[in-house]
Structure 1
């Protein structure tokens, strides 16, 4: 295999292990912390508040990430970020309210570094022909973390209505070891120097060398029309990320009508979310070249329809009070574990539809400014995720689903508009290079102006 593709595989393994630890923790954090509070009255930490702090800090620190990467490089930034993930998981072995929130701030800052570095590193190891393939492969490997970690939790939580100290420490210890293994893979990443292809160049400025120039470049990029439109798509992915990673699975566990194994279903829900994510990432990775030719918008529209179906099924399956704690109420039908797992799979597959195409459009359209592009993506997504976690502890499930439906519609519409504008500009550029077809060039130019 060529060196760049080996780097993509190593990157995928590194993130798979680091996020096997973190995404599993995020999925069970609310349930785990409630059990800790029952055993220790002095502990008042809340899972939703912790996750909100993480994503709020991530949003703020994303503005500094391009400057940090201009100093450390993407590999250094990812390793430093990975260490903060390890520290966050270790703190659960010593439950203290202040330590939980301090670690939440630290991992938020580290997440800005690791994700912006990842976007930049994936881009410099790809070109216009391989960016869709590499994005899909990376996403599939990353989301294996949901499958393996939550399968482990499903087995450990079997038959338990309260997560005792021994079970908690066993889970935390295993997740700590897995996160450390991921750091080893990040250390193995090799440097690559890449000159952006001429056809991939954008009107935004190329990657800057200095921290101040990198920060200014991010501000300029944020003010461009296409990035503002894409921001609505980023906002939706942030809200639905927080919903399926921190709200939906605990809501299943809090629905006592699911049966005596309701808490066990929290881990199983994560497994099915991971299965959907992996299938979507693998599918779009294998078909990367074909999807680039067809356009990214059909995949995003498919994800939009799948998510709307899942929101409706969740609405009729789970009671509106489910996000707040144990409840014996029911919704429009008797809660079905099978339907709940189907919705978990649909949430994961739809999320893969959106995120693989976002990675593809950012890596393809902003190949010469990828650090700033991915930093802005994570800033907007994380700000939306933080807002969702803040209102999750107060908003009924039905209200949260309504918000998701509206944002999904807006995010899909704006993504498609950006994709259509980019394709129109590409057709004009291709015909401008053909000197003997001035009439056709002018016709397509006029058509492109229609999209403006």
Structure 2
């Protein structure tokens, strides 16, 4: 097998591992607050009604702290070890819903946050050790697009189990301990449906552990960053991470990193919860499945496009991709603003939207645009972290995740009291700021690369003349 095929194989396997562990997490995020709200309505003492939001806040709080230390862990281990451990932590989370308990729920949320940090650090290290400068953009996009099939797979799991359990009397309505008509019409999840869903998510996460364990670990020739050469100690890597946080380039990219966190958390959890809490949608029981399929399709389609166009258009994975991502955020936020009640993310409501109601078609359109935009924004973040600071790549990846996790953590803590328009107006505004600042960094990075290329070429010519 030649090197390019080996690179593609490694990127694809990394993507499949991501697919398996993220199928559960992403699908859970679509329905988590609604599932916990349903459990709380039946057994109030078992878990709090907003534990879905608060649990995700715990995830991102531990994710943020762990990101500071994850480069140090990578310095004394390998990307593959990080990926295997992260997959184990991802598996522990859905397992808890087979015996829902508040203590285990928050404990597994903390483990999942640590797993996130280990996964993304391992992912970045694995990609840079199995890519060259010429192939990094296409490899990142390939891995990301394969990984994002998790939402397509998750949509089939959601639809299938919803169909199998649709005969349960509790599926659409559960009037037990409920007196409000609005509450009788909200989307509910039965005990059977919850157990079936989270059993499936646990099993598929275990497949992710196996995939990461079987991945090849040999570095490719002329790779961006070797995983076998340990150039630093745990303490040295930690100090380097702390200094990277205050690096001017990283500070200028903070809006982009925050956009990654806020954007993903909004379309992954807040908006799906708003659809479930909208009483007009009570009969649209397949909305989470349709929306998940659309988001996954958008991610995959855009990932393939970036990979294809990056081979033909120089630096397509930077400014052009960022522009597409920002435009997508503006479009889908407008559609959500016009179709969703202001307080739908916070509580079940029968409030009328500004212009039109949700439908399967609208969920498909919004999900597709969300997926395209998210793929663009995450792709440019991965590329710029790999290129902007050549001597601190693990630290750059880690710092980007620190700010991403911080933004997500704040969002989930405030979600129970944040009206919809705060998101639908704030996200487009942030995306515009992030785009302008990213353009500046991308321009400087491209200049730096040209100088390095010219220096390498000149050195090669001098060596050639001396040899003659």
Q: Give TM-score, length-normalised by structure 2.
A: 0.87
Name the counterpart of 2:367: 344
Tell me the CA shift for residue 259 of structure 1. 5.0
Are the aligned partners of 1:14 and 1:183 in contact in 2 as well (CA < 8 Å)? Answer: yes
Q: Bigger shift: 223-232 or 79-88? A: 223-232
**Which residue, 112, 120, 125 being the options, matches 1:115?**
120
Tell me the CA shift for residue 277 of structure 1. 0.9
Name the counterpart of 1:65: 70
Tell me the CA shift for residue 434 of structure 1. 7.8
Deviation digits for residues 79-123 of structure 1 (CA, Å, limit 9, x no counterpart)? 111111111110111101111111111111121111111111111
Name the counterpart of 2:211: 185
Name the counterpart of 1:408: 431
Name the counterpart of 1:246: 269
**Which residue, 87, 94, 99 being the options, matches 2:92?**
87
Which 4+ stretches in 1 moved above 4 angstroms? 194-197, 428-435
Deviation digits for residues 373-398 of structure 1 (CA, Å, limit 9, x no counterpart)? 21111111111111111111111001
Are the aligned partners of 2:89 and 2:111 in contact in 1 as well (CA < 8 Å)? Answer: yes
Cα distance in 1 for residues equivalent to 2:213 and 2:384 = 28
**Which residue, 325, 328, 333 being the options, matches 1:311?**
333
Are the aligned partners of 2:137 and 2:317 in contact in 1 as well (CA < 8 Å)? Answer: no
Cα distance in 1 for residues equivalent to 2:222 and 2:84 = 25
Cα distance in 1 for residues equivalent to 2:312 and 2:239 = 36
Structure 1 unaligned spans of 5+: 436-452
Cα distance in 2 for residues equivalent to 1:396 and 1:170 = 32
**Which residue, 202, 222, 237 being the options, matches 1:176?**
202
Name the counterpart of 2:461: none
Cα distance in 2 for residues equivalent to 1:292 and 1:215 = 35
Name the counterpart of 1:377: 400
Structural mapping, 1:90-101, within 5 Å: 90-101=95-106
**Which residue, 142, 146, 158 being the options, matches 1:141?**
146
Structural mapping, 1:291-306, within 5 Å: 291-294=313-316, 296-306=318-328
Q: Give TM-score, length-normalised by structure 1.
A: 0.90
**Which residue, 254, 270, 278 being the options, matches 1:231?**
254
Deviation digits for residues 188-232 of structure 1 (CA, Å, limit 9, x no counterpart)? 1222236767xx79xxxx973210111111122222221211121
**Which residue, 8, 12, 17 being the options, matches 2:20?**
17
Cα distance in 2 for residues equivalent to 1:67 and 1:133 = 28
Structure 2 unaligned spans of 5+: 173-187, 459-468
Q: Bigger shift: 355-364 or 237-246? A: 355-364
Cα distance in 2 for residues equivalent to 1:430 and 1:191 = 28
Cα distance in 2 for residues equivalent to 1:291 and 1:218 = 33
